[in-house]
Amino acid sequence: MNKTGGERRKERLDRGIKVRSDGIYALLSWRELGYLVLPRFVLIAGLLLLPIVVQSLYWQRVISNVCLYALLALSFDFLAHYVGLVSLGGALFIGTGAYIAALLNKQLGLSIILTIPIASVSGAAICTLLLLPCLPLRGVYFAIVSLMYPLAIKGIIEALNIFGGTDGIMGVDSFPNPWVERYFVITIVLLSLFGLRRLVNLDIGLVFRGVKDNDQAVRASGMSITYYKAVAVFIASTMGCLAGACLTHIYMFSGISLFGLDFSILPIAATVIGGGGTLAGPVIGCFILVPISELLREFGTLRTAFYAIILMAFIVFKSEGLMVYGQRKYHQFERWVKI
């Protein structure tokens, strides 16, 4: 940390243990309480104000998109960093949720109030059942298998010409109005984020983390790892299917493009940028990546190249992720001192 010939150096001091511990002692002073509440408040208030601040309809739609990707990124981060399942099944979750919601709406005429919850829960059940045989797999093997599912389902829909075949299902009901749509997805993202953060620190959350850390020790403790993995996949796929159901109602359409690779890859990229294992990081990552990819639309095919460069730069120069970096800086004082 030497600067100008070793006369000064940067000194880093950790903040008091009381605030860093997040514990009950933080209640002792307003200053420490404020220190803890501020980042959370900024995130919540920022998200809630966003649709009001952003004027153009186009960018308002982008906000909804960001939130749906954020749900997927949250579910990826939860599975990968708290359960140890690296899942590329984002497209599976989105597609399943979207098709179920679209079919319920078009075929059975159910209203949007019913289709979204039913599609989330039943879609999650279907995804969990599909992934059940692969749950004993670990690491890259699980990743490969979970990537195959959306491709396989896409192929089946195309080949058998079911569920509207390549045309998809058109004319699905939309949200009553854009404000409901935006605030619904924003609320869901906030609830999922804070809900997951709470979940991973509950006793059952510790079991999930135990499965990631050391699954043999969990078996030796008399618990079935497959059961707990299945529960975790159900939680994650509920979020994914919910995002899918919202997507189909926002675009009033469900088609095989929803089983596309984008939904599996972008959440991972967002997690890398935001910082894996922080849960808030992937959400922030989505708020960076999705708008960038919208801005790059003007460049046509060059878009992918720019996108790749941004990702590579992050992986090389800030591989820990923005959130981890930010947290560290927030917990430290920095000042220059004379040697």
| Binding footprint of other proteins on the chain (CB under 8 A) | 203-204, 206-207, 209-210, 213-214, 216-225
Nearer to other proteins, 222 or 300 (CB): 222
Helix (H, G, I), strand (E, B) or coil at 337: strand
Which residue, among 199, 63, 73, 88, has the nearest Cα to 141 in the 3D structure?
88
* Contact assessment for residue 248 and residue 102, using Cβ atoms and an 8 Å cutoff: yes
Distance CA(309)–CA(140), nearest Å, equals 24
Nearer to other proteins, 156 or 206 (CB): 206
Q: Could you tell me the smallest distance in angstroms from the CB atom of residue 332 to other proteins?
A: 20
Q: Could you tell me the smallest distance in angstroms from the CB atom of residue 48 to other proteins?
A: 33
Q: Could you tell me the smallest distance in angstroms from the CB atom of residue 321 to other proteins?
A: 17
Nearer to other proteins, 231 or 310 (CB): 231
Nearer to other proteins, 139 or 176 (CB): 139
* Contact assessment for residue 101 and residue 244, using Cβ atoms and an 8 Å cutoff: yes
Q: Could you tell me the smallest distance in angstroms from the CB atom of residue 315 to other proteins?
A: 23
Q: What is the CA radius of gyration of the chain?
A: 22
Classify burial at 161, counting beta carbons within 10 Å of its beta carbon; exposed 0-12, middle 13-18, buried 19 or more.
exposed
Report how far apart the first and last C-alpha atoms of the chain are (Å, whole number).
11
Q: Could you tell me the smallest distance in angstroms from the CB atom of residue 320 to other proteins?
A: 16
Distance CA(11)–CA(28), nearest Å, equals 28
Nearer to other proteins, 116 or 196 (CB): 196
